[in-house]
């Protein structure tokens, strides 16, 4: 009985440590490659500055990647002769865009980190976040004259 209790206790401790060690954290890349997130931001800002709609496109890429069975980067996979991927699926064909920006991000991150260390799913997530920030910080020239109603 004692050995079974010890086994269960050790199993619980091992699982608790494993989940803690493998948990998601916003500063995961701080030690692995501190230049990764600034590199993503730089490419995203340049792409949004060049074409403002790219901000929405990168956000949409992240949404479409996460919509089908979780955020795994599978939207970025190219089709083969034997297998059609999400990228070319009927719902995404001529609908999602920005793949070339993601390719630029991946190349820049791999360059500054010295090797491929950032997952494609993380690149999509960070690019979506940075694209929203980039669009919100661009100057917007709008006019404010229309009234929603006229008081009597």
Residue 101 located in a structural domain: yes
Catalytic residue among 64, 126, 131, 134: 64
5-40 pLDDT per residue, tens: 766 656 655 555 544 555 667 788 888 999 999 999
62: annotated active-site residue: no
Residue 17 located in a structural domain: no
Residue 16 located in a structural domain: no
Tell me: is residue 96 an annotated ligand-binding position: no
Tell me: is residue 86 an annotated ligand-binding position: yes
Q: Which domain holds residue 46?
A: 35-137
> CB–CB of 87/76 below 8 Å?
yes
pTM beyond 0.85, yes or no: no
Q: How many domains does the chain have?
A: 1
Residue 51 located in a structural domain: yes
Tell me: is residue 70 an annotated ligand-binding position: yes
Q: What is the mean pLDDT of the chain?
A: 82
Tell me: is residue 72 an annotated ligand-binding position: yes
Residue 24 located in a structural domain: no
Length in residues, the chain: 152
Residue 142 located in a structural domain: no
* Burial class of residue 10, CB neighbours in 10 A (0-12, 13-18, 19+): exposed
CATH of the domain at 113: 1.10.520.10
């Amino acid at each position: 009985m004692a050995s079974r209790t010890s086994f269960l206790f050790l199993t619980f401790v091992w699982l608790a440590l494993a989940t803690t060690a493998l948990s998601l954290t916003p500063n995961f890349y701080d030690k692995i490659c501190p230049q990764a997130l600034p590199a993503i931001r730089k490419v995203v800002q340049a792409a949004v500055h060049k074409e403002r709609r790219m901000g929405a496109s990168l956000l949409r890429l992240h949404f479409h990647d996460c919509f089908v069975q979780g955020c795994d980067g599978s939207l970025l996979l190219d089709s083969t002769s034997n297998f059609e991927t999400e990228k070319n699926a009927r719902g995404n064909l001529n609908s999602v865009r920005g793949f070339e920006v993601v390719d630029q991000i991946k190349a820049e991150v791999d360059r500054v980190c010295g090797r491929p260390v950032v997952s494609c799913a993380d690149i999509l997530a960070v690019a979506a976040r940075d694209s929203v920030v980039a669009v919100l910080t661009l100057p917007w020239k709008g006019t404010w004259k229309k009234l929603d109603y006229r008081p009597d």
